[in-house]
Structure 1
């Protein structure tokens, strides 16, 4: 079912959003959907040509030109400066979308430290840096506010060529699911978005490896291998605008989890069945059961907007 961002204008008109990795792929699709919902935007980018094309799209639509912020999401000092720049420019910041990431694959047993440091540094570290830099501004703002961390279906479904990538997305999933409890008392929504195959150039990340992480453990791609992999994204991938529109809908509905691709029902069903089957069939001692019931109550209290302390868990 098509999602029309205009349906959510009443909630988001004039709200200020900052999106990382926002001039290509899912970041751009999200920016376009947000703009169609009347939001004001600050967009991070790395490539000047992509930035220029994005600026043209906004001009052709007659929309306000976004505040473009050149940013490497692994640069903590740079991220903090951008956050202050956005707050100074707009007065308030209401929405943070941590989207920037790299898709790099190879057998985990062959990985180098540089492979770990680069992939985890961007995919997980970039989310951390976004939260650290923008959270004070979101807490200081008024009205409707939201954080979206974009992970991947790899946050649920590991694969033989995606060990570090999967680890980074599992980490984003765990962080976001826990952060939701902490933000509820502040009236700030929090969503984890896990897209799957989308028409982006994420497959080309291996061609953009920074010099400081040059010592790869993965063998270089064979001639045409990445391009063949990328053809699946181009031919079969979801339109990034559709992903962005579904993110907007999920935010509006206060969905903690935003899944964009319907084809993974069979995978999630199998994964859930494996977890249930792995549970031992035996009685649980009353003391342990009591502690787990306290944990469950604490989670529900946090979702309801109550602050939960350590002594609420024992």
Structure 2
């Protein structure tokens, strides 16, 4: 562990954070890191045993008991109720971490509508619901504020068994990169976090498929296949607390992109080279070049906190 959350206590002490999927895995690691930085937390959960274990961790540390909110992130009405509960309980809310997700794999050409609707509904729709429910309340609060959308390295690196999962993470990446420009004029930071292999039970998502999405196009996993896949997470995955501490550091540094694992430099290098090689070697007409420079300037202005209108792009 290279990040000590306590070093960020001065700037985050007393700030209120809401985290989805927060009683296991990366969500729990983030909640623990935030608490070690002096933050007050509201946590969404689905499983009562996981909630109880999380409450015990906070009690053992002598920390304030989190506000636990039972939530299916695809339920828009409930999400809006939770946002009200958080503000009613704490008075304000300053940080949103959209973390909840499902990891389901299979050949994309065999996927059913239910596969698409379930995975996209949780991984992308859950982020949308979080933003819709919490952004007005974060804007109404004061002081240091931030939004973190947790995606995955799949937001950059597609794979043959993860088409819909990858699509959902690419979508979160695009949404977050654009949202950053919109939140800057409000003084609200915005980060995309893309973790890689982490010690979580995300591999078991396929075993928790809701009945309303039962029509799977993917063949059922072979006996022991998921458990074998899960050994990679357990044996070699990063500690979720380390991921959470790096999220905290990234927020503190106002990083737009938070990468937590160092092992992907070769992937980024290869991908960059592939993209550069795909560009045509020819002159660009001056008019098109001017439009693209206006786009770049609009991005710089937005990151500096200026509002950008459609007229600024032409």
TM-score bucket (shorter structure): over 0.9
Corresponding residue for residue 172 of structure 2: 172
Tell me the distance in 1 between the aligned counterparts of 2:40 and 2:83.
15
**1:114-150, Cα deviation, whole Å (9 max, x unpaired):** 0000000000000000000000000000000000000
Tell me the distance in 2 between the aligned counterparts of 1:146 and 1:31.
15
Instruction: Give 1:186 shift.
Output: 0.0
Whether 1:194 aligns to 2:198 is no
Instruction: Give 1:19 shift.
Output: 0.1
**1:47-92, Cα deviation, whole Å (9 max, x unpaired):** 0000000000000000000000000000000000000110111000
Aligned residues: 314
Corresponding residue for residue 228 of structure 1: 228
* 3-state DSSP of counterpart to 1:18: strand
Structure 1: which 5+ runs fail to align? none
Tell me the distance in 2 between the aligned counterparts of 1:4 and 1:208.
34
Corresponding residue for residue 26 of structure 2: 26
Corresponding residue for residue 80 of structure 1: 80
Tell me the distance in 2 between the aligned counterparts of 1:252 and 1:19.
17
Whether 1:301 aligns to 2:301 is yes
Instruction: Give 1:178 shift.
Output: 0.2
Tell me the distance in 2 between the aligned counterparts of 1:87 and 1:310.
34
**1:14-52, Cα deviation, whole Å (9 max, x unpaired):** 000000000000000000000000000000000000000
Tell me the distance in 1 between the aligned counterparts of 2:120 and 2:11.
34
* 3-state DSSP of counterpart to 2:297: helix
Corresponding residue for residue 261 of structure 1: 261
Corresponding residue for residue 211 of structure 2: 211
* 3-state DSSP of counterpart to 2:219: coil
* 3-state DSSP of counterpart to 1:69: strand
* 3-state DSSP of counterpart to 1:50: helix
Whether 1:125 aligns to 2:125 is yes
* 3-state DSSP of counterpart to 1:190: strand
Instruction: Give 1:196 shift.
Output: 0.1
Moved runs in structure 1, 4+ residues, more than 4 A?
none
TM-score using structure 1 length: 1.00
**Alignment root-mean-square deviation, CA:** 0.4
Tell me the distance in 2 between the aligned counterparts of 1:95 and 1:281.
45
* 3-state DSSP of counterpart to 2:212: helix
Corresponding residue for residue 50 of structure 1: 50
TM-score using structure 2 length: 1.00
Instruction: Give 1:179 shift.
Output: 0.2
Tell me the distance in 1 between the aligned counterparts of 2:194 and 2:269.
16
Structure 2: which 5+ runs fail to align? none
Tell me the distance in 1 between the aligned counterparts of 2:2 and 2:227.
30
Instruction: Give 1:100 shift.
Output: 0.1
Tell me the distance in 1 between the aligned counterparts of 2:76 and 2:265.
37
Tell me the distance in 2 between the aligned counterparts of 1:104 and 1:258.
23
1:36-185 correspondence to structure 2 within 5 Å: 36-185=36-185
